Structure 1
Amino acid sequence: MRVTIYAVGKLKAGPERELSARYIDRFKKAGAARGLNFNRIVEITESRATDAATRKREEYEALEKQLPDDCVLLVLDEHGSTMSSRRFADTLAGWADIGRRDLAVAIGGADGHDDSLLDKADKVLSFGKLTWPHQIVRILLAEQLYRAATILTGHPYHRD
């Protein structure tokens, strides 16, 4: 299954980009053994609309145009459900095992996601009740993708 990250906003050069890239590189290596292949990161330009509803709608429209047909859509949102790293790994494996070709992981902008995207999602996931900056969410996602791959391949990185 090809894994693509769709993120509203650009990640500037610096330690956040470097750490995210480090975990993505690790995921590329570890995930391939389990059929989880990193594809790319697509950065969606943040809307400059004056109100939040319009910004979310414009960002949704830009993101939606990029999504592959019949992809599994995993949306990161503070109002989503939480899960353990092991359950996250099992969820990814389940989608891969039923032959889904593409996994799209969507990270929203400062205002979050438009309801239209949330309604389309196969899963809405939260990294907790706290609100996280976009840069840190990218790092958390990259690390959890790597962790999931190590769980699925029996690598000792993850400890229960």
Structure 2
Amino acid sequence: MRLSIAAIGRMKAGPERELVARYLDRAIGGGKPLALTGFDVIELPESRASSSASRKADEAKALRAVLPEGIVVALDERGKSIGSEAFSALIARWRDDGRPATSFIIGGADGLEPAFVSAADMTLSFSPLTWPHQMVRIMLAEQLYRTTTILSGHPYHRGD
């Protein structure tokens, strides 16, 4: 199953981008024997529309145009909060069910369009706090790497 992150906005070169790349590179290596591939990032430009609602609608349209067929997980502070082992189990179940891809979506500065979030297969929250989008990418990339370690029995994950 192909895993990807689709995000509104581009990360500048720097330590945040390097950290995302480091975790995703590790996930690529660990994912191969688990039939998990991709671990790519799709960056889309922020809309220049004048209102928040219009920007979110434009960005949702752009996201829909690039997402592969498969599971869509919208990241939103109002979503469901789960632990790393449950997250890994979900990815493994979707893979085992023959889903071709799972895309994790990070909205722009205004967030995601409500209709886009409603249509997603899952809405996931890392916290009810609002996080900078760069931090969300880092945390998501780390959780994807952690998923490969949990599913392979690697000691990186030391949860109870």
**TM-score, structure 1 normalization:** 0.96
Task: Give the SS at the match of 1:63.
Answer: helix
Shift of 1:110: 0.9
Percent of paired sites with the same residue: 50
Matches within 5 A, 1:1-160: 1-69=1-69, 71-160=70-159
Task: Give the SS at the match of 2:145.
Answer: helix
- Asked whether the 8 Å contact 2:27–2:39 carries over to 1, the reply is no
- Asked whether the 8 Å contact 1:6–1:106 carries over to 2, the reply is yes
Shifted more, 31-40 versus 88-97: the winner is: 31-40
Q: 1:39 to 1:27 in 2, by over 3 A?
A: closer
Cα distance between partner residues in 2 of 1:101 and 1:26: 21
Cα distance between partner residues in 1 of 2:22 and 2:40: 14
- Asked whether the 8 Å contact 2:27–2:144 carries over to 1, the reply is yes
Give the number of equivalent residue pairs.
Answer: 159
Runs of 4+ in 1 over 4 A off after TM superposition: none
What value does the CA root-mean-square deviation take over the aligned residues? 0.9
Runs of 5+ in structure 1 lacking a partner? none
